[in-house]
Amino acid sequence: MQMADGRRQMADEAAEESAAICCLPSAVSKRIILGMTGASGAIYGLRLLELLLAKRYEVHLVMSPAWHQSAVHEGFSPPQASDRLIVYEPNNFNVPIASGSAHFDGMVIAPCSGSSLGCIASGINQHVIHRAAEVQLKERRRLILLVRESPLSLVHIQNMERVTLAGGIIQIAAPHFYTAPQTVQEVVDTVVERTIQLFSEPQS
């Protein structure tokens, strides 16, 4: 009888422990760094942010000074910090995303300007977005640059090659039309949904 009671108590404790683990949001939440730079196409980064938060990602966001200028011209306001959205100042290097000791599941720069592409390819840190990208490369973590630049010069192409050889992924902000999108948001989604898909693919 006592043995049966002991087994029942152990089963109850195991069930409680399992339920507690299931209730921990941090156990399943991915931590993503999102940089937004000054290329036209602020909507790409903002829509990507919206989808990442909807999928319960923890997002660490940095907006460059040039992004703010472009966003104003395109009619957008900067996102504000919230529950799973941490916002950093671009000139503050004393933050977790600037260190390889802090673990993140990857980083995307959307949109990525030609200037930021060049800085990352050359290891130059004009602000913490570039430093965070450098950290992702040296730690062999996923880095996606959503480049919105056209036409491309040889300099752009060579910088893309250097980032690719260092382990980064160059994604061109080129929408597809297989699904016959009817709105601007649907067109944008064909790009940023592919970006999110790239995070779930195995790192080579």
pLDDT at 9 over 70: no
Q: Which segment of 5-9, 155-159, 163-167, 179-183 scores lowest on mean pLDDT?
A: 5-9
The Cα–Cα gap between 121 and 193 comes to: 25
Q: Residues near 183 by Cβ (< 8 Å), separated by ≥ 6?
A: none
Local structure of 143: helix, strand or coil = strand
Task: Quick: pLDDT tens for 164-196.
Answer: 999 999 999 999 999 999 999 999 999 999 999
> What six digits make up the tokens of 83?
């529950």
The Cα–Cα gap between 159 and 154 comes to: 8
Domain ranges of the chain: 28-200
For the domain covering 28-200, report its CATH number.
3.40.50.1950
Task: Quick: pLDDT tens for 27-72.
Answer: 458 999 999 999 999 999 999 999 999 999 999 999 999 999 999 9
